Amino acid sequence: MQHSGSDRREFFRINDSVVIEFKPVEKTHVGEVAKRISQSSDNDGDSERAQLRTMQNVFSHLLDQISQHDREMARALRLLDDKVNLIAQRIERHNNPINPDKLTDVNLSGGGVALLVATPIPPRDYVELFMQLVPSASTIHTLATVIGCDKIEQAPSETPYLLRMAFTHMDEMDRNVLIRHTLKRQAERLREGELTGAMTLIES
C-alpha cells in the first residue's frame, strides 16, 4: 500500500520535551470529546490565529503537490511558509507562554506519543491530551487510544510505566503543525549527530 507524503511523515519519530496534560476519557464520553476536537478550529476566538492556521493548512497541501513537479516553486512556497510560521509562533508564545518547569520528555510522531507516567492506564482506553510544543508554543489537542502501558525496570520510581498512545482524533491543522514540528526537530537532531535508533518508544 502506498502512502502519501503527509501519511509517511506521520511515522517520523523524535525524542522531545513538551508540556503535556492528559486525562482518561470514559468510553461513553469519547464521542463528545471527538466532536469538540473536530470543532476546535471553528470556535477559535482569536481571528488572527485562526487565519494563520488556515493559511498554513493550505500551504501544506500545496507543497505536497507542487514539490513533485516544480522544486523551485516549492522552495519559494517554503520560504513564504517559514515567514508565516514565525508570525504564528510569536502570537502563540505571547498568548501561551511556555513554563519550563512543566516540560516532560516524550517520544513523539505525527501519529502518537509515548512517555513515562506514575500510574498505568489499560490498553484500548481513551485519553484526552493537550500538548504544548517547544519552542513554538503551539498547543495540540487530541484524543488518543492506549496501545500499551508497561512497567519499565530502568525507569524512575516515580514514573515507572511507559504509556504508549496512538492519536485517533485531531484537527487537521493541529496535525500539520505536529508533523512539521517532528520533521524540523528530526532535522536538528541529525545535524547534531543524534542517532535515530534511539527513536523506538512508539509502535507504529
Cα separation, 114 vs 46, in Å, equals 31
> What single letter denotes the amino acid at residue 200?
T
Name, of 18-27, 89-98, 166-175, the range with top average pLDDT: 18-27
**Selected residue with higher pLDDT from 139 and 93:** 139
Q: Give strand pairing partners of 112.
A: 166
Tens-place pLDDT, residues 141-178: 999 999 999 999 999 999 999 999 999 999 887 888 89
Q: How far apart are CA 72 and CA 197, in angstroms?
A: 33
25: left (phi over 0), alpha (psi -120 to 50) or beta: beta
Q: Is 104 in contact with 146 (CB distance < 8 Å)?
A: no
Please write the tens of the pLDDT for every residue from 73-83. 888 878 877 77
- Residue 42: pLDDT above 50? yes
- Which pLDDT value is given to residue 198? 46
Contact 22, 191 (CB under 8 A): no
pLDDT band at 53 (very low <50, low <70, confident <90, very high): low
Averaged pLDDT of the chain: 81
Q: How far apart are CA 199 and CA 106, in angstroms?
A: 10
HSE-CB at 198 with a 13 A cutoff on CA atoms is 11
| Encoded amino acid at 116, one letter | L
Higher pLDDT among residues 136 and 60, named by residue: 136
The one-letter code for the residue type at 112 is G
Give CA separation, 69 vs 4, 73, 75, 155, in Å. Answer: 15, 9, 12, 48
pLDDT at 54 over 80: no
Which grid cell sits at 151? 512497567
Q: What is the pLDDT of residue 118?
A: 96
- pLDDT of the residue at 204: 38
Q: Which pLDDT band holds residue 10 (cuts at 50, 70, 90)?
A: low
| pLDDT band at residue 97 using 50, 70 and 90 as cut-offs | confident
Structural domains present in the chain: 5-42+98-198 (2.40.10.220)
> What are the tens digits of pLDDT across the range 123-137?
999 999 999 999 888
Q: What pLDDT score does 41 carry?
A: 54
pTM: 0.72
